[in-house]
Amino acid sequence: MHQPKCFLVLLLAWIAMSLNVHAQSVSSLESKAEKLYRTRQYTEAINFFEQAIEKGAQNPKTFYGLGMSYASSDNVNERIKGIPALSKALTLNADQFPRWAYLDLAKLYHLNEQIAEAQTAFSAYKKRMDVRDPKVREEAKAFEKALKNAKKFIGKARKIEVHDFGFEVNSEFTEYNPVVSADESIMAYTVLHPDAKKRTMVESIMMTTKDGLGNWKAPEAVKIETNARFNVGTAGISPDGEQMLIYMGGSSNTGDIYEVMRTNDGWTKPKSLSVVNTPTFHETTLSVTSDGKSMYFASNRPGGYGGMDIWRVDKDTNGKWGRPKNLGPKINSAADEDAPFIHPDNITLFFTSNGHETMGGNDIFRSVLRGTEWTRPENMGYPINTPADDSYFTLIADGSKGYFSSNRKGGKGLQDIYYFNMPEQEANIPLTMMKGKIVDQDGNPIKTSIKMVNKKTKESVDFVYDPNPNTGNFLIILPPGQNYDMIIESEDFMPYTINVNIPNQTYFYELYQMIQLKAIKQFGVTVGQEVSVKNKFYDVEQKTKSVINSKLFKESQLVQNDSLDMYDMMDMIVASEDSVAMDYLLDLAFKVKPIDLVNFEAEDEQMDVAKRIYYYDESDLDHLEKKVVDGQEIFTLPTLSVTEEAAKYRANKQAPKVLESRFDKQLLSKKFQVFFAPNSSKMDQKYIAELKLLLEQLNKHKDLGIEIAGHASQDGDQALNEKLSNERAIEVLNYFNHRGLVRRRIKAKGYGAVKDEQVSKEKARRVDIRLVDLTMYQ
């Protein structure tokens, strides 16, 4: 009878003991979590807080500790995980926690783009905040302004899709400050990652380039020769990707900007940009105008309006850099402005700021130079900017795509690199991107330097436009409505000038230029050079009017990156019933490195063809042109105007063929002969009188030329006979050339031994001479 009572007592005791053990378990987990939290070991603390909550903990401090542990993370994705716990802690007992706890919750909602919830939490904070503290009031005012801006910009989100660059570039670490070449073929960026021993975090530069299909290749580390204690990061890149600006700094150095140049083996040793660097202050990023005459950079030097400010330094008329000038209070605020990027149009400035009309943290802003005044900085809006930090913006030359870095939610690491396609109405920047290649007659690159001079203003465009020595490729970005002289100095050739006329368009324009040089030789001696220029224009607007709209060029870039369905595009093209547009679309879809893929052999209405042969005996100082570039005199061959020569070329192609010469047939058919002694190339004086008569005819008629053919007998070996025939032809050539007949009008060649055995040895040792009509001579 007592057994049921005994069992009940034992059961109750067991339950009580279990509850006690459970309570001790939760308490123990909370205690461990609290200790880790106080020592700022937040990752470990999160583990114990969550275990305690899973076991039923209801202590508000546990939820608060969990929420604030998440909130202490550097990773936004982790930080916003603290919202539920912190919200519950304040719901359970808000008075138990610091008065700024609601502000912490509001900031988390803000980061998570839950603006309404952030405003509610912030209202609760304002009721508790210490209004007597000016710092508290200032912080609250700034946050309230950020909330207001976030609500406005997110509520009016732009129709832009922001793309994560992907795992090839973005990682669990920090990737930021992408710098992109004007043609979008090269991107360098900074990565913050653990060192080899995984003891500390270091900065280094990575670079990725596009393959033949337009896909970004796996990034590779850029090796820069520097102090091992220095961090190295990207600061800027030239339009052609051949020069890079880098930031270098360390624990004992405030950080400065350096330049490096691409070489066959990598990059040159960093060279300090002393014009912007200071010994005791911080210079971080820099951007150079496309004409090379101005630099925009960020610095915290004295004379600014806040922390970091944006400054500008200009070259004077003598090509020397002046003193840096602050851009003023319209650009620089009491907060920080950094990462300036001046677009190749030289008037559109992008920069990062945590002041102005920011929606929280750093935002990207744009301002345009109107005369001497900058417009009010404009926030680029959502989703380019978010309540997180969005920085380091760069825009490619045609305005169609922007790159930047951000620590926004949804990223893979602490900061990631993103890109987006600019809306059409904002992408039409009326520049001309000129891509060219300079090669010899066999297609090999030639070591070359280029100087550009505005014909009207006489000002030089003196940025890094020299062709890559490995490819011969060069890139130049020019504003519309200007006429330029390209003064080109190619190794083993005389300096020459090509005139380039840039149309006065209101849209992005592309010009692809192939320059081919050929040495003109007579008997192994270079006597002149042929300069051949082919310009192929891609007028983006005209190409797309009959299709969809002027997004066609941009769409080709999207196809390259698999972000647009090719079949959808085909449907749209087919609907337009435009075969020309279809061909153009296909051309764009497969064209990634245009200068390598443009068919310069297929001449059409889009191509200007110009060719000119220069003979050096016509190129004394009376015939050379003097060009002055930044005070330096350069004597070049007469200017080749592509527009004029191309017009002549077209006219000649369309003109009816002239089948007969205007000169007397008897004059042209008459052959003159000079005979030589065995093994001799010395001309007998008895022939001079006859040669004088020929020279008189040549001086009288400028369209007449002379053909000289040297011969030898079959005595001796082939090499000796070729040598004799050449020397005999040269002997006659020199007679005319030394008396003022330029080589352009002399066609001379040695033919070796006479093959006809019926010709005697005496008759074989000769030079044949005849007059030719140069207008018909082939």
Name the residue among 152, 64, 54 with its Cα closest to residue 108. Answer: 64
**pLDDT of residue 757 exceeding 90:** no
Least confident window among 46-50, 438-442, 563-567: 563-567
The two structure tokens encoding residue 654: 């369309």
User: Cα–Cα distances in Å, from 84 out to 27, 63, 64, 70, 74?
Assistant: 21, 9, 10, 11, 18
Q: Verify cis geometry, omega within 30 degrees of 0, for the bond prior to 383.
A: yes
Q: In what order do the strands lie in the sheet with 432-440?
A: 473-478, 432-440, 509-522, 525-539, 607-615
**pLDDT of residue 250 exceeding 90:** no
Q: What is the pLDDT of residues 459-501, one digit of tens each?
A: 776 544 578 788 888 877 777 778 899 999 999 999 999 998 8
Burial class for 608, CB neighbours closer than 10 Å (0-12, 13-18, 19+): buried
**pLDDT of residue 280 exceeding 80:** yes
Mean predicted lDDT score pLDDT of the chain: 84
At which residue do the structure tokens 């904070």 appear? Answer: 125
**pLDDT of residue 581 exceeding 50:** no
**pLDDT of residue 337 exceeding 80:** yes
Task: Look at residue 303 and give its three-state secondary structure.
Answer: coil
Q: Is the dihedral of CA 26, 27, 29, 30 positive or negative?
A: positive
**pLDDT of residue 552 exceeding 50:** no
- In whole angstroms, what is the distance from residue 650 CA to residue 344 CA? 34
Query: In degrees to the nearest 10, what's the CA dihedral of 616, 620, 624, 629?
Result: 110
Task: Look at residue 384 and give its three-state secondary structure.
Answer: coil
CATH number of the structural domain 162-427: 2.120.10.30
Note the residue count of the chain. Answer: 778
- In whole angstroms, what is the distance from residue 567 CA to residue 588 CA? 15
**pLDDT of residue 609 exceeding 80:** yes
pLDDT given at position 7 = 55
| Stretch (H or E) spanning 315 | none
Show me where the domains of the chain are located: 3-155, 162-427, 444-654, 665-773
**pLDDT of residue 384 exceeding 90:** yes
pLDDT given at position 564 = 35
pLDDT band per the 50, 70, 90 thresholds, residue 332: very high
- In whole angstroms, what is the distance from residue 346 CA to residue 290 CA? 7
Question: CB–CB of 403/447 below 8 Å?
Answer: no
**DSSP-assigned letter for residue 674:** E
Please tell me the number of Cα atoms within 13 Å of 86 on its side-chain side: 24
553 vs 538 pLDDT, higher one: 538
pLDDT given at position 580 = 43
pLDDT band per the 50, 70, 90 thresholds, residue 228: low
Question: CB–CB of 477/432 below 8 Å?
Answer: yes
Task: Look at residue 765 and give its three-state secondary structure.
Answer: coil
Q: What is the mean pLDDT of residues 643-668?
A: 81
Q: What is the mean pLDDT of residues 545-556?
A: 38
User: Cα–Cα distances in Å, from 305 out to 93, 336, 603?
Assistant: 43, 9, 57
Least confident window among 3-12, 292-301, 398-407: 3-12
Q: What is the mean pLDDT of residues 629-639?
A: 88
Q: Is the dihedral of CA 305, 386, 400, 434 positive or negative?
A: positive
pLDDT given at position 575 = 38
pLDDT given at position 455 = 87
pLDDT given at position 343 = 87
pLDDT band per the 50, 70, 90 thresholds, residue 319: confident
Left, alpha or beta for 752 (phi > 0: left; psi -120 to 50: alpha)? left
The two structure tokens encoding residue 302: 């004295």
pLDDT given at position 425 = 63
Per cent of the chain over pLDDT 90 is 56
Q: What is the mean pLDDT of residues 710-728?
A: 93
User: Cα–Cα distances in Å, from 758 out to 680, 709, 764, 768?
Assistant: 22, 19, 10, 17
Q: What is the mean pLDDT of residues 198-216?
A: 86
Domain 3-155: which CATH number of 3.40.50.1220, 1.25.40.10, 1.10.3210.10, 3.40.50.410: 1.25.40.10
pLDDT given at position 711 = 96
At which residue do the structure tokens 């007449």 appear? Answer: 704
Q: Is the dihedral of CA 110, 115, 119, 124 positive or negative?
A: negative
Phi, psi for 223 (deg, rounded to 5): -90, 115
3-state helix, strand and coil shares in percent for the chain, rounded to the nearest 5 = 30, 30, 40
* DSSP secondary structure, 422-452, as one string: PPHHHH----EEEEEEEEETTS-B--EEEEE
pLDDT given at position 392 = 95
pLDDT given at position 631 = 81
User: Cα–Cα distances in Å, from 402 out to 321, 358, 582, 607?
Assistant: 30, 19, 27, 31
- CATH architecture entry for 665-773: 2-Layer Sandwich (3.30)
Least confident window among 133-147, 454-468, 490-504, 683-697: 454-468
User: Cα–Cα distances in Å, from 348 out to 296, 396, 552?
Assistant: 12, 12, 24
- In whole angstroms, what is the distance from residue 472 CA to residue 513 CA? 11
**pLDDT of residue 528 exceeding 70:** yes
pLDDT given at position 372 = 87
Task: Look at residue 181 and give its three-state secondary structure.
Answer: coil
- In whole angstroms, what is the distance from residue 737 CA to residue 741 CA? 5
Least confident window among 125-134, 332-341, 452-461, 573-582: 573-582
Burial 291-324 (b: 16+ CB within 10 A, else e): bbbbbbbbbbbeebbbbbbbbbbebeeeeebeeb
Task: Look at residue 699 and give its three-state secondary structure.
Answer: helix
Least confident window among 120-124, 228-232, 438-442: 228-232
**pLDDT of residue 541 exceeding 70:** no
**pLDDT of residue 594 exceeding 60:** no
Q: What is the pLDDT of residues 163-190, one digit of tens each?
A: 999 878 999 999 999 999 888 889 999 9
Name the residue among 666, 667, 678, 669 with its Cα closest to residue 766. Answer: 678
* DSSP secondary structure, 49-64, as one string: HHHHHHTT---HHHHH
**pLDDT of residue 253 exceeding 90:** no
- How far apart are the two ends of the chain, measured CA to CA in Å? 133
